[in-house]
Amino acid sequence: MLDAPASALLIEAFANTVDVELGTDELATPAGLSAWLAARELLDRPRRIGAADHALCLRLRDGVREELGAHVGETADAALLAGADEALRELPVLMSVRGGGAGGPALSPAPELSPVRAALARLAVAWTELTVTGDAARLKRCSEHACAWVFWDVSKNRSRRWCSMRVCGNRAKARRYTARQTATAPATGLPHD
């Protein structure tokens, strides 16, 4: 089984701050965003977050979730992807030849960023690491639209489509079976009362 790297766990947690099934969003308010960032030690303590930074974060998350849906063959919403790209341009990161884990280059938030934007830039760094290593392809959004939970694909050939085969996969397969049965059911030709 392939363990998810720290960057994947962070992006997975970030994407799953919205729960489609329950209709909840941990980042719905600036205070919620502040608490989430502090809980993951991306901020040293909860801070006041303005509307612009809150909106920036939501654009980034929406685009990341959209891209993760594309990893299971969904058609991505170009506007959401463009919004995330715009958000990333507002979160500059620097590359350094020292400071990386194994002596390699390291990415870090630009020093001029506010603490909140630096925290968001750490999310951008995590996404960049996943993309550069190719690990982003293992992070996917469940194909079950009522779920849409983000998960790390541990399958050998990276073909998993659902967060849980027992729940979401079975739901999808049952719907397809019912649709096939309905489409092939012969008309009885009997008059209706």
For the segment 39-57, the average pLDDT, to the nearest whole number, is 97
Can you give the pLDDT at residue 102? 59
Can you give the pLDDT at residue 2? 74
pLDDT at 91 over 80: yes
Can you give the pLDDT at residue 97? 78
Can you give the pLDDT at residue 178? 64
| Beta pairing, strands 139-141 & 106-109 | unpaired
Does residue 52 fall inside a structural domain?
yes
CA nearest neighbour of 145 among 172, 170, 166: 172
pLDDT at 185 over 90: no
Please say whether the beta carbons of 107 and 94 come within 8 A.
yes
What residue ranges in the chain does DSSP mark as E strands? Answer: 18-19, 24-25, 93-96, 106-109, 139-141, 150-152
Any idea of the CA torsion for 34, 39, 45, 47, to the nearest 10 degrees? 0
Q: How confident is the model at residue 103 (pLDDT cuts 50, 70, 90)?
A: low
Does residue 79 fall inside a structural domain?
yes
Lowest pLDDT segment from 36-40, 44-48, 93-97:
93-97
Lowest pLDDT segment from 23-32, 66-75, 161-170, 171-180:
171-180
Lowest pLDDT segment from 113-117, 142-146, 148-152:
142-146
For helices 78-89 and 115-133, angle between their N-to-C axes, nearest 10 degrees: 120
Read out DSSP for 118-138?
Answer: HHHHHHHHHHHHHHHHTGGGG
For the segment 124-140, the average pLDDT, to the nearest whole number, is 93
Mean pLDDT for the chain overall: 86
Does residue 19 fall inside a structural domain?
yes
Overall number of domains in the chain: 1
For the segment 109-116, the average pLDDT, to the nearest whole number, is 96
pLDDT over 70 percentage in the chain? 81
Can you give the pLDDT at residue 88? 97
Does residue 111 fall inside a structural domain?
yes
Does residue 53 fall inside a structural domain?
yes
Instruction: Please tell me which residue, 141 or 101, carries the higher pLDDT value.
Output: 141
Does residue 178 fall inside a structural domain?
no
Can you give the pLDDT at residue 172? 56
**SS3 category, 193:** coil
DSSP state of 44: S
Does residue 171 fall inside a structural domain?
no
Q: Tens digits of per-residue pLDDT, 3-39? A: 899 999 999 999 999 999 999 999 999 999 999 999 9
Count the Cβ atoms, other than its own, within 10 Å of residue 14. 25
- Residue span of the structural domain in which 38 resides: 6-139
Does residue 163 fall inside a structural domain?
no
